[in-house]
């Protein structure tokens, strides 16, 4: 798994034109079975009556990929926080 925003050599990823803009998600629900994890990414809209949401993407992944994803997120978060967060916030 690539740990940064650049693609690895020899890896060509293609997006359909309709998907280039991506989707916004501000919530994720994670479930698992003995063989796979399912992550539902959703966009929640909040109102005084509560939250309503729509799933914008469902991703099924293997347990091995979960570990690789966690490692990639931790690496990228560390790099991001060094640049974007003040030390007093980052070090707490």
Written as tens digits, the pLDDT of the chain (92 aa) is 555 555 567 889 899 999 999 999 999 999 999 999 999 999 999 999 999 999 999 999 999 999 999 999 999 999 999 999 877 776 66
Distance CA 61, CA 38 (A): 6
| pLDDT in the model for residue 86 | 79
Tell which residue, 54, 74, 67, has the closest CA to residue 82.
74
Structural domain range at position 41? 23-61
- Tell me the two tokens of residue 62: 């293997």
| pLDDT in the model for residue 7 | 53
| pLDDT in the model for residue 8 | 61
One domain for residues 28 and 53: yes
Residue 82, domain member (yes or no) = yes
One domain for residues 56 and 67: no
User: How many folded domains does the chain comprise?
Assistant: 2
One domain for residues 43 and 67: no
| pLDDT in the model for residue 2 | 57
Residue 18, domain member (yes or no) = no
């Amino acid at each position: 798994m690539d740990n940064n925003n650049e693609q690895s050599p020899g890896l060509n990823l293609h997006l359909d034109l309709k998907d280039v803009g991506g989707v916004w998600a501000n919530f994720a629900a994670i479930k698992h079975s003995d063989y796979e994890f399912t992550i539902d990414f959703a966009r929640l809209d909040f109102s005084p009556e509560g939250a309503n949401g729509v799933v914008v993407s469902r991703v099924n992944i293997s347990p091995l990929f979960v570990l690789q994803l966690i490692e990639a997120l931790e690496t990228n978060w560390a790099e991001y926080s060094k640049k974007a967060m003040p030390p007093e916030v980052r070090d707490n």
